[in-house]
């Protein structure tokens, strides 16, 4: 078990490393970071920082073999010009890797907050996404499980049919469609705020502001859990050991509480744990539509809606890294927790 866990974690690390390396090269191949300003002083300070970070090299003469120079700066009072060239990407990569390992420095923002550390920008945006996600998980997990149990226990009755049908419908509807209808029904034709309340709003308005994001995130989640729990419970309910439990004299309630639910939850609990890891990534569409300054929205902002000149690639890189790491971590937790929750499952044992 321990050996398997270590192996699994190491594998996740290696995967993360490979993916981030790939992402780095793909992003860097888009071209060097550029600054929007045209003022010599700002250009100078920007490229000096880039030099410091190892993305750019500077020369006092032209070096045509390095390709087109990025910028030319003539310090006032002197006749010498400084030419900035992009550093070879492989060199940049090792520099970048070194900065992350030694200083946990993921580079600086170029457009969103010029000169600010990318990791700080992420840290500023993360709490909002976290709050919304946690609230929605806290609401959707019990609700989803409750509905799933209800449907599973009342299998093939009208309760089950109603729940299953609505789950089928809601799980198919994309989240942005749900947001559209929620906004239309509750905000424009109701009293809820139509966008995320800003910091200066009263507490009441702020609290109301949570309703639409949380609802739109919960819908899919609730449906997913309901379907999952129902399927698992149905399977357990028709198992032989439950029949045995009933025949040896347990009441239906006892049989369900002691045997059915516990066994049904073996695959469900790991996915709940994985879901809690998932709160670290924001929902892009929701955050864009509802003007929430979270990390999903940051992703879009750093992409600048496809406008190449305004892209903030360092921030985008960190954001992508978060999505990747969160996904992989959730996978590891999911796999490992199976072994802890269910002693019957022996992880890593050779399949016979």
Partner 1 sequence: MKKKEDEFELLNNLPEEARDPEISKDDFKLVTKDTTIHEQKFQTKPTTFFKDCLRRFRKNKSSVVAAVILGLLLLLSIVIPAVSPYDVSAGAANTGFEYLEPKLFNAGTGFWDGTRKYKDYSVDISANPTAKTDEEKQKDWWPNETFVRSAISKKEFSDEKYTDYVSDFGKGGFLRHSILKSIKEEAEYAELRTQEITDVLDLSKETVLITAFDTYDFDKIEKLPDEKLQKFDSDYELAKVGLDLVAIDMDGDDEVKTYYPIIEPKVVHNIGSAVSSMSEETVNVGDALSESGETRTKFERYYFAVTIKNERDEQNKSSLIHSWTFDVVGNDALKAKLCDYVSGDKVNDGASFTDATASGRETLYLDQAKTALNYGYLVSSNAARQLFMSKGYFVSFVYDTYEAKLGTKWKERISVSDLDQWSTAKVTDKNPWGVKLMEYNISTKKNSSGKYVLDTNAFYCHILDERCPLAQELRPEDIYVDPYGISKSNPLGYEVDGYITMYKYYGYEEMPKFLLGTDKNGKDMLKYVFDGLRWSLLLGIISSAICFIFGLIWGAICGYFGGNVDLIMERFTDILSGIPWIVVMTLVVIHLGSTFFSFALALCLTGWIGTAATTRTQFYRFRGREYVLASRTLGASDARLIAKHILPNAMGTIITSAVLMIPGVIFSEATISYLGLGFRNLNSLGIILSNNQPELKQYPYLLIFPAVIIALLMISFNLFGNGLRDAVNPSLKGEDE
d(CA 52, CA 279): 35
- The residue ranges that bind partner 1 (CB under 8 A) are 11, 15-16, 18-19, 22-23, 26-27, 29-30, 164, 168-169, 171-174, 176-177, 180-181, 183-184, 187-188, 193-195, 197-198, 200-201, 205, 227, 230-231, 234, 284-285, 288-289, 299-300, 303-306, 308, 311, 316, 320, 323-324, 327-328, 331
Q: Mapping DSSP to helix (H, G, I), strand (E, B) and coil, where does residue 128 land? A: helix
Query: What is the DSSP secondary-structure string of 37-103?
Result: ---HHHHHHHHHHHHHHTSEEEESS--GGG-S-SEEE--TT-S--EEEEEPPHHHHHHHHHHHHHHH
Least separation in angstroms between CB 258 and partner 1: 25
Least separation in angstroms between CB 183 and partner 1: 6
* 23 touches 321 (CB < 8 A): yes
The count of C-alpha atoms lying within 13 angstroms of the C-alpha of 164, restricted to the half-sphere facing its C-beta, is 15
Compute how many other C-beta atoms are within 10 angstroms of the C-beta atom of residue 189: 9
Residue closer to partner 1 (CB basis): 166 or 251 = 166
Q: Partners of 240 in the beta sheet?
A: none
Residue closer to partner 1 (CB basis): 6 or 26 = 26
Residue closer to partner 1 (CB basis): 58 or 155 = 155
Residue closer to partner 1 (CB basis): 65 or 240 = 240
Residue closer to partner 1 (CB basis): 37 or 254 = 37
Q: Say how many Å lie between the first and final Cα of the chain, rounded.
A: 17
Residue closer to partner 1 (CB basis): 78 or 351 = 351
Residue closer to partner 1 (CB basis): 119 or 289 = 289
The closest alpha carbon to 107, from 162, 185, 166, 55, belongs to 55
Least separation in angstroms between CB 32 and partner 1: 15
Query: What is the DSSP secondary-structure string of 192-208?
Result: S-SSPPPTTS-HHHHHH
Least separation in angstroms between CB 113 and partner 1: 11
Least separation in angstroms between CB 334 and partner 1: 13
Least separation in angstroms between CB 24 and partner 1: 11
Least separation in angstroms between CB 137 and partner 1: 19
The closest alpha carbon to 16, from 325, 237, 230, belongs to 325
d(CA 217, CA 89): 39
């Amino acid at each position: 078990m321990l050996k398997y866990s270590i192996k699994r974690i190491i594998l996740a690390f290696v995967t993360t490393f490979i993916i981030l390396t790939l992402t780095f090269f793909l992003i860097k191949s888009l071209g060097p970071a550029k600054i929007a300003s045209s003022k010599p002083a700002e250009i100078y300070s920007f490229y000096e920082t880039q030099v410091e970070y190892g993305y750019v090299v500077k020369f006092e003469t032209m070096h045509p073999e390095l390709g087109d120079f990025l910028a030319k700066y003539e310090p006032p009072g002197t006749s010498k010009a400084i030419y900035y060239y992009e550093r070879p990407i492989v060199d940049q990569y090792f520099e970048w890797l070194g900065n992350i390992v030694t200083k946990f420095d993921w580079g600086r923002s170029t457009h969103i907050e010029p000169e600010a550390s990318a990791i700080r920008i992420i840290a500023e945006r993360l709490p909002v996404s976290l709050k919304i996600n946690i609230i929605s998980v806290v609401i959707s997990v019990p609700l989803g499980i409750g509905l799933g149990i209800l449907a599973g226990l009342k299998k093939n009755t009208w309760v089950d049919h109603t729940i299953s049908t609505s789950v089928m419908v809601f799980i198919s509807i994309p989240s942005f469609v749900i947001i559209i209808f929620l906004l239309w029904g509750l905000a424009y034709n109701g009293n809820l705020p139509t966008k995320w309340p800003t910091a200066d709003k009263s507490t009441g308005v702020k609290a109301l502001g949570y309703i639409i994001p949380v609802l739109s995130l919960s819908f899919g989640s609730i449906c997913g859990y309901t379907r999952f729990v129902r399927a698992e419970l149905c399977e357990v309910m028709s198992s032989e050991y439950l029949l045995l439990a009933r025949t040896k004299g347990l009441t239906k309630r006892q049989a369900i509480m002691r045997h059915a639910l516990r066994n049904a939850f073996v695959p469900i609990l790991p996915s709940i744990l994985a879901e809690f890891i998932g709160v670290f990534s924001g929902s892009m569409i929701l955050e864009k539509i509802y003007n929430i300054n979270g990390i999903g929205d940051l992703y879009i902002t750093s992409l600048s809606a496809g406008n190449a000149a305004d892209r903030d690639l360092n921030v985008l890189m960190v954001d992508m890294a978060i999505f990747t790491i969160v996904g992989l971590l959730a996978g590891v937790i999911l796999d490992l927790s199976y072994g802890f929750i269910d002693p019957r499952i022996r992880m890593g044992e050779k399949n016979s």
